[in-house]
């Protein structure tokens, strides 16, 4: 299994600003994913990030709002742009294992005031 770290672990941001969340994996992986978990809700996939290609976004999520970078096989960033209180959530990255299971980071708890 992979070990994943995320930075920051939590942040409080003002409306209209942007926050970049970092995800670091301890081994090289092809597929990385970004999820959002709103209070009391389950995980919702934002996008799939493969190294060397553009991220693939799920319905309801757009690149202008959630730009993603994947510069190498161990690192990715998700930016939450022009934030509003509705963006308050936990953001999680994950990587795919050999059998299609996923390994998750600890999450970034974002509060927008």
Binding residues vs other proteins (CB under 8 A) = 1, 4, 31, 33, 41-45, 48, 58-59, 92, 94, 96-97, 99-107, 109
d(CA 63, CA 48): 12
Least CB distance from residue 78 to other proteins, whole Å? 14
Smallest distance, other proteins to C-beta of residue 19, A: 18
For the CB of residue 14, give the shortest distance to other proteins in the complex, in Å.
Answer: 24
3-state secondary structure of 62: coil
The Cα-based distances of 110 to 17, 103, 107 in angstroms read 12, 21, 9
């Amino acid at each position: 299994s992979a070990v994943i770290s995320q930075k920051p672990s939590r942040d409080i941001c003002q409306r209209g600003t942007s926050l970049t969340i970092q995800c670091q994996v301890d081994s090289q992986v092809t597929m990385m994913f970004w999820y959002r978990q709103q209070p009391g809700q389950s995980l919702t996939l934002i996008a799939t990030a493969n190294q060397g290609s553009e991220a693939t976004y799920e319905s309801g999520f757009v690149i202008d709002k959630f730009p993603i970078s994947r510069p190498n096989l161990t690192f990715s960033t998700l930016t939450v742009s022009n934030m509003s209180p509705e963006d308050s959530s936990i953001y999680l990255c994950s990587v795919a294992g050999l059998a299609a299971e996923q390994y998750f980071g600890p999450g970034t708890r974002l509060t927008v005031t």
